[in-house]
Amino acid sequence: MFSASLPLFTVMVSCLFVGAVVYLLRTNQSEAPTVLIWNVHAGNCRWIDSKGQVDIASPVALVRLPWVVILNLSPSNNASNRWLPIWRDQLSRDDWRRLQVLARWSKLPNTIV
């Protein structure tokens, strides 16, 4: 019975993962920040969107994978939390390495690893 349920579990987890990735890719790109400044010591993030508006948010959690870092941000205006994916190809090699180190040593809960 265990061996029969293992493939079903694998398929369910794979579908959940693919669904999450599709959701992240289909988020409203017009609201995506063009500049993100993560001040670890102050415990907040500032971002500037495509309209030039600045918003401040507190990071709540993160997901760190080899190809993407996803921040869960809680905006200061009490809006719902937003997930912000930062893909490896969006940053230079040195900036990606810095982000990976920052995410690894951050005190934020890592929901995957």
pLDDT at 1 over 70: no
Which long-range CB contacts under 8 A does 53-60 form with residues at least 24 apart? 57/82, 59/106, 59/108, 60/108
Q: Is 15 contained in some domain?
A: no
Question: What is the band of 113 on the pLDDT scale with cuts at 50, 70, 90?
Answer: very low
Token duo for residue 13:
């987890």
Q: Residue 49: give the domain boundaries.
A: 30-105
Using CB atoms within 10 A of its CB, is residue 57 exposed (0-12), middle (13-18) or buried (19+)?
A: buried
Q: Has this prediction a pTM greater than 0.95?
A: no
Q: Is 35 contained in some domain?
A: yes
Q: Is 20 contained in some domain?
A: no
Phi-psi region of 58 (alpha: psi -120 to 50; beta: other; left: phi over 0): beta
- Residue range 83-90: average pLDDT? 86
CB 62 within 8 A of CB 86: no
Q: Is 39 contained in some domain?
A: yes
What domain count does the chain have? 1
